[in-house]
Structure 1
Amino acid sequence: MKIPSILVIAASLLTGIAHAQDSTAIKAINAGSFAQHIKQLASDAFEGRKPFTRGEDSTIQYLAAQFRKLGLQPGNGNSYFQEVPMVSISSKPAGDLVIKGSNGTVSLQYLDDYVAATRHVQPQVNLRNTELVFAGYGIVAAEYGWNDYKGLDVKGKTVIVMINDPGFSDSTLFKGHTMTYYGRWTYKFEEAARQGAAGVIIIHETAAASYPWKVVRSGWSNSKLYLQTSDNNLHRSIVEGWITQDAAKKIFQLAGVSPDIMTQARTKGFRPVDLHLQTSLVINNTIKTSTSHNVLGVLPGSSRPQECVVYSAHWDHFGIGEAVNGDSIYNGAVDNATGTAGLLELATAFTQLPQRPARSVLFLSVTGEEQGLLGSEYYASHPTFAPEKIVADINLDVLNTFGRTKDITIIGYGQSTLDEYAQRAAAKQRRVTVKEANPEGGWFFRSDHFNFAKKGIPGLYIGPGTNVIGHEAGWGQEQIATYNRLRYHSPADEFDPATWQLDGMVEDVRLLFDVGYHLSNENSFPQWKQGSEFKAYRK
């Protein structure tokens, strides 16, 4: 397909980067090559880029071929690939989720009312007549004086918890509207397992989760991937799942408890409630153990090659799944063919430099992000550079498709001095950096830089700006909201050359080039700021 001329950006696009030595390199990041990469990665031929499928094979071979073509060295010894051992579990509940009590029963339908799966690598798991307990947010956070499990023994029981953290409803608690990791669904499952719960069920709420039920439904209706563990994940709860708000209200009604209990759980000192109900669930599993792959290419540093700046982007999406309006291929054009294409654009730019940077630059395309940041978790635990020598991770995930903006969003603003690097780069483009509009969504914990942060390595993760040139205030935020509502994690996330405006994407990635270029030539390391929960890890 011929790329419409609207996608082609003149080489004279202002970037404000004044270094003569990188002027040729910066121009290598352009809309034409961007569009070609996205078109290929998001094509039906790549089948939605799910790990363990033909889509993975096509994707990783494409990326390795591009790295090889650019002259990057293999990033993992003599290979462009890092093997990531995973297990695929397709969990299918045997029927309705039936809740029993002295006043009757409630039957919840799979996908419409609930989703459930297991991490246990077993052909079948059985949740037998477990007692149900409502445990508020399911949080244990000593630094905030909060313990939803205080005085509660949930061993062998199923806990029902709410999404997000108390700050979502009360700005005086936790970090206010900025979600902490305690608000993430991944934390809820981890903590329930630590408490010994046999099952854990999260109550979905669109605003608190920052995505509608259909996102949960589509994500849980297909097989799920996990990293292989020595105990086959038996340390986790038997069943993990979600229920809708309406389903939760039916359960509370059956228990004779007011739905206001969810409001009461937001107050400090809330104590868990035994619902005097029981539930059972059988889940049958189809298991496949296999190996997925991270793809790594490295540009060795000229004088300090042992030190490294990482650019990361996840290549995976959801593959072929439940059909929506007759389309079953989850192409993942925005999420994350854009970021993967941006990684290739950055690699192209760095290889165009007349002189290699002092530090090495690693271009890391990871697998399994959509399944729980698995590829980056594996790399962070099996790095190809010593962790103390990794300067920073600059992460690309879901780039701007609606045009140039006067601002650029820093997700997790205030975490590290990488904020200032981004601010300086933005100023050269006559732009400003802003905080994310909805920090209650916990976006800082939802992409691959987070696994670097957990190792103490600062991460920069930007989002599209919202002050779009040529449009009224609020238009950019409306575009983001529309994408999240209609296309996020659905087959509708497809490349649309007729409507996408790639000049904003180009400008944003050029900004990231500027940040990485400076980091790769400095002697110092960026630092976590006071108050960051990751500051101690770097030490």
Structure 2
Amino acid sequence: MRRLPLLALIFIAAAAPIPPALKTFRADAMRAHDKFLASDLLEGRGPGTRGDDLAMQYIAAQFESYGLEPAGDNGTYYQRVPLLGITMDATKTSLSFTKEGATAIGPLKHRDHFVATDQSQSPSSTINSDVVFVGHGVVAPEYRWDDYKGLDAHGKTLVMLVDDPPANAQEPDLFKGKTRTYYGRWTYKYEIGAAKGADSVILIHTNEAAGYPWSVVRNSWGGETSYVRLTPGQPALHIASWITEKTAADLFKAAGYELNALTQAAASRDFKPVSLGYKLTGTIASTIRPFDTANVIAKLTGSDPKLRDEGIIYTAHHDHLGIGRPDERGDAIYNGAIDNASGCAILLEMARVWANTKPAPKRSVYFASVAAEEQGLLGSAYLGQHPPIPAGRIALNLNYDAIPELGRVRDVVLNGAERTTFYPSAENVTRQMDLTIVPDPEPEQGHYYRSDHFSLGKVGIPAFSVEPGHDVVGKGKAWGDQMSADYREHRYHQPSDEFNPNWDWSEGVQMAQLGYWLGWDAANAATLPNWKPGDEFRAVRDRSLH
């Protein structure tokens, strides 16, 4: 008789049983969902448009056809998310950098030099404010970092760099080294500027710092942007803007500085704000459109009489950018086939398989196709504040966003899972699926803070996205890296992100199987997962559990 080593026996004892439903996932179903959701009929699924309404109705109809219960408002599948759409009117907007006795820089040309939104939600705002360079615009006591150093930012125009202050040889882990933190996200820059009473915040775009080319900024922020309606007295920027690197360099040069030199100076704790001696002057005009969109939510009730009041939740955003600036082919529909019709296709197929799982897991399973992700995670933020059950009863959130469909992979990115007590289960499941968990291959992109799981993490729910790695079976990692870079450069947030009948949906099947198995473990676990001690979300999770 052959004897197994003790380590192998321990592994087998610890191995999670393979759910039989894994064999029932259908690539053709995912392909069909993506083909419809990314079709020109849906006109790019811009929030508050006919096309996105069609997408929501399609997703709700699929949930209903699977026999899942509605988990939205008033017995429906829809959780209403009220928003304001704000579009800068370029014909009535004129902005320049001016200085008495000097030639004005401007009027700046919309989309070519800058993009901007009036976050004060006013139809028109007049601007006349001093321009101050504040480095990275970061206040981080835990890193002993303050880019403002006593500056009274009230009424100022703050120009700042995207990304975190960089690590250095003496402090290689400063701001987590190469991994972008929330301090490096554009959302933080606008939030801190508004909190300090600034009139305007202008971000300097570079491909390296932003992680994407100017075309992405132009396409993402050059049209309508959506916001939750401001509450009385809530601070807001009159101008939330990006400018090109060349525009910034021209401004700094006119002010007697070099952009590169001040960028280097901003890498030090000793950096102090630099007044550029110019003002931002002019008027920004906007059209404002109130509208409703919705998170589409369904439920599979758990089988355990006590634990069914707890649950897990899968998410994938249904929106994209709608109709925008035409590309060189004249195509103005931003179809979002990868971003994120692919995630919705996987969510729907998982919903179908879960609906046919007998018996149901102990905890309930929720499926939420969320709204307005491209506008700043607005739908998932609303879901986090208004979950179908209290956040402290939600064991886990698994999110799907932009799955490239290149074929089966050998590795997977579960960015954020390592920060939770659920991680040993994730390691166990991936090991049995012959998948290696790898770190985020693009940590400088700050992916954790760029997708909907972040909204649920902020309310304490252990949350992360399921993302295929780049080591594609039969093609290798180098090829996968090349495909990722090609997508980001040539299709991400562009009309060319269109359905391709030649995509290999075995990757979608693999990622759906993984998500199902992870969800199965969390839905049947004896205890609720938590964030590990010291994590930024641990305190709010602990409060939610009591």
1:268 CA drift (Å): 1.5
1:423 CA drift (Å): 2.1
Give the letter aligned to residue 419 of structure 1: Y
1:172 CA drift (Å): 4.0
1:258 CA drift (Å): 2.1
In structure 2, runs of 5+ residues without a counterpart are 1-14
Once the two structures are superposed, the pairs formed by residues 307-456 of structure 1 within 5 Å of their partners are 307-324=310-327, 325-412=329-416, 414-456=418-460
Residues of 2 paired with 1:453 and 1:386: CA distance? 13
Report what 2:87 is aligned to. Answer: 90
8 Å contact kept, 1:211–1:484: yes
8 Å contact kept, 1:47–1:55: yes
Residues of 1 paired with 2:378 and 2:477: CA distance? 38
8 Å contact kept, 2:205–2:244: yes
8 Å contact kept, 2:472–2:480: yes
8 Å contact kept, 1:400–1:463: no
In structure 1, runs of 5+ residues without a counterpart are 1-16
Give the letter aligned to residue 408 of structure 2: R
8 Å contact kept, 2:94–2:284: no
8 Å contact kept, 1:335–1:397: yes
Residues of 1 paired with 2:33 and 2:93: CA distance? 43
Residues of 2 paired with 1:116 and 1:168: CA distance? 30
1:18 CA drift (Å): 7.5
8 Å contact kept, 1:411–1:444: yes
TM-score normalised by length of structure 1: 0.93
Residues of 1 paired with 2:405 and 2:428: CA distance? 23
1:481-514 Cα deviation digits (max 9, x unpaired) = 110110001110011012x111122111101110
1:419 CA drift (Å): 3.3
Report what 1:3 is aligned to. Answer: none
SS in 2 for 1:436: coil
Report what 1:166 is aligned to. Answer: 165
Q: Does 1:249 align with 2:249?
A: yes
Report what 2:37 is aligned to. Answer: 41
Q: 1:468 aligns with which of 468, 472, 482?
A: 472
Q: 2:50 aligns with which of 47, 54, 77?
A: 54
Q: Structure 2 vs 1, CA of residues 120 and 315 (structure 1 numbering), >3 Å: closer, same or farther?
A: same
Give the number of the structure whose residues are more often strand, by fraction. Answer: 1
Q: Structure 2 vs 1, CA of residues 169 and 219 (structure 1 numbering), >3 Å: closer, same or farther?
A: farther
Residues of 1 paired with 2:209 and 2:408: CA distance? 30
1:287 CA drift (Å): 1.1
Residues of 1 paired with 2:480 and 2:204: CA distance? 30
Residues of 2 paired with 1:491 and 1:169: CA distance? 39
Q: Give the CA RMSD over aligned residues.
A: 1.6
SS in 1 for 2:444: helix
1:413 CA drift (Å): 5.5
Once the two structures are superposed, the pairs formed by residues 519-538 of structure 1 within 5 Å of their partners are 519-538=522-541
Residues of 2 paired with 1:485 and 1:221: CA distance? 18
When structure 1 is superposed on structure 2, of 312-321 and 220-229 the one drifting more is 220-229
Residues of 1 paired with 2:530 and 2:272: CA distance? 39
8 Å contact kept, 2:38–2:336: yes
Give the letter aligned to residue 218 of structure 1: N
Residues of 2 paired with 1:144 and 1:29: CA distance? 47
SS in 2 for 1:497: coil
SS in 1 for 2:326: strand
Q: Structure 2 vs 1, CA of residues 162 and 451 (structure 1 numbering), >3 Å: closer, same or farther?
A: same
Q: 1:79 aligns with which of 76, 79, 87?
A: 76
Residues of 1 paired with 2:206 and 2:501: CA distance? 34
TM-score normalised by length of structure 2: 0.92
Report what 2:203 is aligned to. Answer: 202
1:527 CA drift (Å): 2.0
Residues of 1 paired with 2:78 and 2:325: CA distance? 30
When structure 1 is superposed on structure 2, of 158-167 and 105-114 the one drifting more is 105-114
8 Å contact kept, 2:39–2:335: yes
Percent identity for Structure 1 against Structure 2: 40
1:244-290 Cα deviation digits (max 9, x unpaired) = 11111101101101221011101122111011111113111111112
8 Å contact kept, 1:150–1:271: yes
SS in 2 for 1:222: coil
Once the two structures are superposed, the pairs formed by residues 233-248 of structure 1 within 5 Å of their partners are 235-248=235-248
Q: Structure 2 vs 1, CA of residues 117 and 168 (structure 1 numbering), >3 Å: closer, same or farther?
A: farther
1:86 CA drift (Å): 0.5
